[in-house]
Chain A
Amino acid sequence: NAGVIQTPRHKVTGKGQEATLWCEPISGHSAVFWYRQTIVQGLEFLTYFRNQAPIDDSGMPKERFSAQMPNQSHSTLKIQSTQPQDSAVYLCASSPRTGGALAEQFFGPGTRLTVL
Chain B
Amino acid sequence: GDSVTQTEGPVTVSESESLIINCTYSATSIAYPNLFWYVRYPGEGLQLLLKVITAGQKGSSRGFEATYNKETTSFHLQKASVQESDSAVYYCALGRRNYNQGKLIFGQGTKLSIKP
Contacts and interface: CB of A to CB of B under 8 A. Distances in A.
A86 B51 CA distance: 31
A32 to B, nearest CB: 10
Interface string B104-116: 1111110000000
Interface string B85-116: 00000010001111111111111110000000
Interface string A103-116: 11111111000000
A98 B104 CA distance: 11
Contacts of A98: 99-102
Contacts of A26: none
Q: How large is the interface on A (under 10, 10 to 19, 20 to 34, 35 or more residues)?
A: 20 to 34
A58 B105 CA distance: 12
B34 A103 contact: yes
Given A3-B45, A56-B102, A59-B103, A99 B109 contact: no
